Amino acid sequence: MSEPKYIQFVDAGYSSSGKTKVWDVATKEDSEDLLGQIKWFGSWRCYAFYPYDKTVFEKTCLRDIANFCEEQTKLHYKKEAK
């Protein structure tokens, strides 16, 4: 995956169950400026983006988020298969 242009993915540890990872999505300018989280969505069996209220995204950020979710879901299943 290429380096995101405007956002960063900050490792936030593991879910309360300890089975899946969680990442904060923040602006590159300020890691405290949180836009949402990426975490496992069980119903869809994949990582999904949970945006915070009053956040706005353009196409580059949305692509970066979608690519990150897809990549992390693939890694999750790869680990599960071992």
* pLDDT(82) > 80: no
79 band by pLDDT with thresholds 50, 70 and 90: confident
> Residue 32's pLDDT is what?
85
pLDDT digits (tens, 9 = 90+) for 6-62: 999 999 999 999 999 999 999 999 888 999 999 999 999 999 999 999 999 999 999
CA–CA gap between residue 5 and residue 45 (Å, rounded): 27
CA–CA gap between residue 37 and residue 69 (Å, rounded): 11
Let me know if 25 is exposed, middle or buried by CB neighbors in 10 A (0-12, 13-18, 19+).
buried
Among all chains, which residue has been given the structure tokens 């890694």?
A: 75
> Residue 16's pLDDT is what?
95
> Residue 56's pLDDT is what?
93
Structural domain boundaries of the chain? Answer: 7-81
The answer to whether residues 27 and 35 touch, using CB atoms and an 8 Å cutoff, is yes
